[in-house]
Chain A
Amino acid sequence: MNRQRRAVSPQVDFHTIDGIVSHMAIQSQAALDLTFHALGDGTRRQMLAMLSEAGSLSAKDLHAPFPVAQPTISKHIKVLERANLVIRKVEGRIHRFTINAEQLKHAEQWINKHRALWEGAFDQLDEFLANTDE
């Protein structure tokens, strides 16, 4: 063993270690990471809502409601693509985007599962507090 090797600090950030494990171990979990990052932005969520309503939109359509420069919109689209939330189709010079419902469902499952856990736990907590009255 290399004795020069730095010891793991007790102050180590668990988020970082967990993050690394997540990315190295299982691909779908890394994908969820990207999905949550992508969803953590109001502009991108609005773009998804637009796509959900319209079915398919061009980059120009996606840009229309936002008072920002095209490169900013392109960046947002790339984040959504990387997260596998939107799919790009090139038709000649037009790039059209559609939503990937499957990936969105994965994030939705995370939310629903944890909401059910805590809602159910609070029901039981209510009962526990009532039954342990002095």
Chain B
Amino acid sequence: MNSMNDEPVAVIVKRQFPRQRQRVFDAFSSAENIARWLSPDKTIKMSVLSMSFELQGGFRFQFDEPDGERNVVGGVFRLIDTPEKIVFSWTWEDPHQFANIPTQVTVEFIDQVEQTEVVLTHEKLPTDAACEMHKQGWIGALNQLGDSY
């Protein structure tokens, strides 16, 4: 009935970029580059407070919203496999709604014909045997479940 019984809850976002893999990877690997794009939208300004892109190196990013709300997230690079994969922890600081909840982000860079696919998995608990389709299906189901109330 349920062959996949133990996969953690996760957010999975996939996107194809019409650029070479190394170029896409480089957008993640320096403070200067990552500050240019990592925020939910253009009205929210992201500033890199610190970033040491190396194994066990840390980072802190600050997000400033137009209404003055400010949130800071911190983490540690747990795996850097240039230009294929980056894994880092991601923990919001107080007073963020989800402060102090340890999460992990895995970014995979997949070489395709004239493009690079990026698969980002943000999860509450680490996993190495994720069944993507199943999770995607569950997120959809969860949303529907919420809608019915």
- Chain A residues packing against B (C-beta within 8 Å): 14-15, 18-19, 21-22, 25-26, 29, 32-33, 36-37, 39-43, 45-46, 48-49, 52, 65-67, 101, 104-105, 107-129
Find out whether the CB atom of A111 lies under 8 angstroms from the CB atom of B11: yes
Q: Which B100-117 residues sit within 8 Å CB-CB of chain A?
A: 100-103
Q: Which of A39, A48, A118 contacts B13 (CB 8 A)?
A: A118
Find out whether the CB atom of B118 lies under 8 angstroms from the CB atom of A42: no
Q: Which of A14, A113, A114, A126 contacts B15 (CB 8 A)?
A: A126
Known: A65-B1, A115-B13. 6 other contacts (CB 8 A): A36-B125, A40-B8, A40-B125, A46-B1, A118-B11, A125-B37
Find out whether the CB atom of A19 lies under 8 angstroms from the CB atom of B124: no
Find out whether the CB atom of A46 lies under 8 angstroms from the CB atom of B145: no
Find out whether the CB atom of A26 lies under 8 angstroms from the CB atom of B99: yes
Contacting residues, chain B, for A22 (C-beta < 8 A): 100-102
Find out whether the CB atom of A122 lies under 8 angstroms from the CB atom of B98: no
Contacts between chains A and B (CB distance < 8 A), count: 138
Minimal Cβ-Cβ distance residue in A for B144: A52
A73 smallest CB distance to B (angstroms): 13
Q: Does B51 contact A (CB under 8 A)?
A: no
B108-149 CB mask vs A (1 if < 8 Å, else 0) is 000000000010101011100000000000110111011011
Q: Which of B5, B24, B27 contacts A41 (CB 8 A)?
A: B5
Contacting residues, chain B, for A21 (C-beta < 8 A): 100
Minimal Cβ-Cβ distance residue in A for B7: A40
B1-26 CB mask vs A (1 if < 8 Å, else 0) is 11111111101010101010001100
Distance in angstroms between the alpha carbons of A126 and B131 in the assembled complex: 27
Distance in angstroms between the alpha carbons of A25 and B94 in the assembled complex: 10
Find out whether the CB atom of A29 lies under 8 angstroms from the CB atom of B11: no
